[in-house]
Amino acid sequence: MDSFCSPILIIFLSAVFMSSSISLATSSSTYENFLSCVSTHSEPSNPISAVLYTPTNSSFSSLLSSTIQNLRFLSPRAHKPLLIITPTQNSHIQAAVICSRDNGLQIKVRSGGHDYEGLSYRSNVEFIIIDLRNLRSITVDTANKAAWVEAGATIGEVYYHIANKSNTLGFPAGLCPTVGVGGHFSGGGIGTLMRKYGLAADNIIDAYVVDVDGRILDRKSMGEDLFWAIRGGGGASFGIIASWKINLVPVPPTVTVFNVSRTLNQGATQLLNKWQYIANKFNEDLFVRAVSIVTSGATKAESTILVMFQSLFLGSVNGLLPLMQQSFPELGLKAQDCTEMSWINSTLYFAGYTNGESIDVLLNRTLQPKLFYKGKSDFVTQPISITGFENIWKELIAGNSSPQIIMDPLGGRMSNISDTAIPFPHRAGNLYNIQYYMYWQARGTNTTKDHLQRMKEIYKFMSPFVSSSPRAAYLNYKDLDLGRVDVRNTSYTEASVWGNKYFKNNFKKLAVVKNMVDPTNFFWDEQSIPPLS
């Protein structure tokens, strides 16, 4: 399995882990006050009580675990939320915000549940979950090349509904269909179209957000500072995004994909070394990522590295071959390595569906196999030498387990957008992004501990090869190893430890905006933006 949204794995089950969950001791008065508060803020025609699940409700556990994608956080020891609310209209979100605030409860908001650290559904303090699964309508307006997307939708649903209306419009976002737009768009959103059109967050043109006072604001009423912050700064620090308006982008009726793999004996190291110099400079219609995995042999000596070059080209094979011949002849790409298809079929392809599956799989919200996993990220600003790669391979092969290393090329439009246009700062000067992604499939005595430790070792090992001061990281590959807090009164200095990595010079502006819109830090989590006056 090469892509982390491939369907090959066994799905693990869940209810067992949840059944004996414990709850933080909650004063019954907080609970009752909350319930009576939401009922007074409810419209009689559409009461919030109909979408409110208490722990005694027989659906509570399955609802809670349904989109817990990372099995590390599906544990009997995890604190349960006091309540789960599944709004069917924005007024439910508004009531939940007002009543949580007035009763000193933390809110965690969940869209697709793909947060790498589970921050959308777990906490150490008394909290409720607002799960946006029912708010996921998508309205595509092909005449104006735009769409309104409710925050509980997945990117697969977005792709599907665009393609349902037009075969020449698309949207630049991530590769796995089950990722939610609530987290993904507010954290950036990198994918196969980014060299041509930038991030998902670069293509947001309006939004509805529920603020700390329970008001619902659009771009005009929230102002440009808050609108800036929620496009890459992480929504959870600023409010609850109810819906996004996105700008659709042109795609040709025919695109071309390839997936060419080479082992070390087949020259993978030299190819990857060369790739670093050209992948960020290619014509912006051409995206070629590189994914390396360890393929284990019977003995360590027989293990090797496989590097997969996976590509989307916005055009036909006839357009692609000369470009590759000119810039990357070493790969030896042939017409028979390439497949022409529609853009929507390419979204299936990159999700690992290469056997003629129907595009209906994009609508399946439980497609993603649940795994135990850990991700980390880096940005590379100087090409890694051949010797550097040889040392990296040695380190990867030596361990009992090693992450996939997913290298996504930047450049093109990514370099044309200013570092300060939105909070995502990793633009010109960066060659590519690295994601280290490791998964495992069982909860052994030390399994999780050992894998997490291994990820730390690899991350340390990689430090000479990647960006420094700060060692940059990508918010959507959230990593609590970079620093965390467990209290609401996080100081700006404490938060800078991770804030500077994710946002570089934009961190300060994020903290200033935070102070304008949520000075008491109601919307907080283990790695949120603190207010700075």
Ligand X SMILES: *[C@@H]1O[C@H](CO)[C@@H](O)[C@H](O)[C@H]1NC(C)=O
Is position 246 an interface residue for ligand FAD (rule: CB under 6 A)? no
Closest CA to 51 of 78, 83, 80: 83
Pairing of strands 106-110, 127-131: parallel
Q: Which does 514 bind (CB under 5 to 8 A by kind): ligand X, ligand FAD, none?
A: none
- Write out the binding residues for ligand X, residues 189-218 only, by CB under 6 A: 196
The verdict on 520 binding ligand X (CB under 6 A) reads no
**Residues forming a β-bridge with 380:** 432
* By the rule CB under 6 A, 7 interacts with ligand X: yes
Q: Please give the Cα distance from 342 to 345 (Å, whole number).
A: 5
Size of the site for ligand X (CB under 6 A): 34
Nearest CB to ligand FAD, comparing residues 273 and 346: 346
Exactly one of 17, 60, 116, 343 binds ligand FAD (CB under 6 A); that residue is 116
Report how far residue 280's alpha carbon sits from residue 487's, in angstroms, rounded to the nearest whole number.
41
- In the chain, count of helices (H) and strands (E)? 17, 20
Q: Does 9 bind ligand X (CB under 6 A)?
A: no
Q: Which does 284 bind (CB under 5 to 8 A by kind): ligand FAD, ligand X, none?
A: ligand X
499 binds ligand FAD (CB under 6 A): no
Question: Binding string to ligand X for residues 74 to 113, with x set by CB under 6 A, is what?
Answer: ----------------------------------------
Distance separating alpha carbons of residues 473 and 234, to the nearest angstrom: 13
DSSP 371: B
Q: Which residues in 285-304 contact ligand X (CB under 6 A)? A: none
Environment class of residue 420 by beta-carbon count within 10 Å: exposed (0-12), middle (13-18) or buried (19+)?
Answer: middle
Site residues for ligand X, 125-184, by CB under 6 A, read: 164
Whole-angstrom Cα distance, residue 262 to residue 330?
Answer: 11
496 binds, among ligand FAD, ligand X, none (CB under 5 to 8 A by kind): none
Give Cα 441 to chain centroid, integer Å: 21
Q: For residue 183, report the phi and psi dihedrals to the nearest 5 degrees.
A: -80, -45
**Rounded Cα gap, residues 364 and 156, in angstroms:** 8
Tell me the residue length of the chain: 533
Contact window for ligand X (CB under 6 A) among 224-232, 359-367, 452-460, 513-521:
359-367
Residue 411 touching ligand FAD (CB under 6 A)? no
CA distance 351 to 353: 6
Q: Which stretch binds ligand X (CB under 6 A): 72-80, 96-104, 200-208, 345-353?
A: 345-353
The stretch among 50-58, 114-122, 299-307, 486-494 that binds ligand FAD (CB under 6 A) is 114-122
Q: How far apart are CA 47 and CA 36, in angstroms?
A: 12
The rounded distance, in Å, linking the Cα atoms of 514 and 455 is 32
Separation of alpha carbons 427 and 417, rounded Å: 7
> Cβ of residue 28: shortest distance to ligand FAD, in angstroms?
27
Cβ count within 10 A of residue 516: 14
Q: From residue 421, how far is each of 195, 503, 514 by CA, in Å?
A: 16, 12, 17
The answer to whether the peptide bond before residue 470 is cis (omega within 30 degrees of 0) is yes
Minimum distance, C-beta of residue 226 to ligand X, in the bound complex (Å): 25
Q: Does 222 bind ligand FAD (CB under 6 A)?
A: no
Stretch that binds ligand FAD, among 84-92, 177-185, 220-228, 489-497 (CB under 6 A): 177-185
Report the candidate in 105, 100, 108 with the shortest Cα–Cα distance to residue 37: 100
Q: Which of residues 241-260 bind ligand X (CB under 6 A)?
A: 259
- 342 in contact with ligand X (CB under 6 A): yes
Candidates 230, 310, 316; CA nearest to 275 is: 310
CB of 366 to ligand X, least distance (A): 5
Q: Does 52 help bind ligand X (rule: CB under 6 A)?
A: yes
Tokens of 524: 């907080």
Pick 289 or 509: Cβ nearer ligand X: 289
Interaction between residue 366 and ligand X (CB under 6 A) = yes
Give CA–CA dist 333/322, Å, rounded: 10
Residue 189: which of ligand FAD, ligand X, none does it interact with, CB under 5 to 8 A by kind?
ligand FAD
Which position among 87, 113, 198, 233 is part of the footprint of ligand FAD (CB under 6 A)?
113
Options 132, 135, 308, 405; binder of ligand X; rule CB under 6 A: 308
CB of 406 to ligand X, least distance (A): 12
Tell me whether residue 151 or residue 255 sits nearer to ligand FAD (CB atom).
Answer: 151
Interface with ligand X, residue 395, by CB under 6 A = no
- Does residue 222 sit in helix, strand or coil? helix
Q: Does 216 bind ligand FAD (CB under 6 A)?
A: no
Q: Which of 335, 386, 428, 487 binds ligand X (CB under 6 A)?
A: 487
Task: Report the residue from 71, 82, 229, 240 that binds ligand FAD according to the rule CB under 6 A.
Answer: 240
* Binding of residue 211 to ligand FAD (CB under 6 A): no
- Give the type of residue at 276: Q
Cα 286 from chain centre:
23
When asked if residue 365 is in the footprint of ligand FAD (CB under 6 A), the reply is no
Whose tokens are 């104006």? That residue is: 144
Give whichever of 366 and 385 is closer to ligand X, judged by the CB atom: 366
End-to-end CA distance of the chain: 48
Nearest CB to ligand FAD, comparing residues 177 and 532: 177
Which residues are paired to 109 by β-bridges? 130
Q: Is 346 exposed, middle or buried (0-12, 13-18, 19+ CB in 10 A)?
A: buried
* Binding residues for ligand X (CB under 6 A): 2-3, 7, 50-53, 57-59, 164, 196, 259, 261, 284, 308, 341-342, 345, 349, 352, 354, 356, 364, 366-367, 412-413, 416, 445-446, 487, 489, 491
* Binding residues for ligand FAD (CB under 6 A): 4-5, 69, 108-116, 119-120, 132, 151, 174-176, 179-180, 182-184, 186-191, 235-236, 240-241, 368, 476
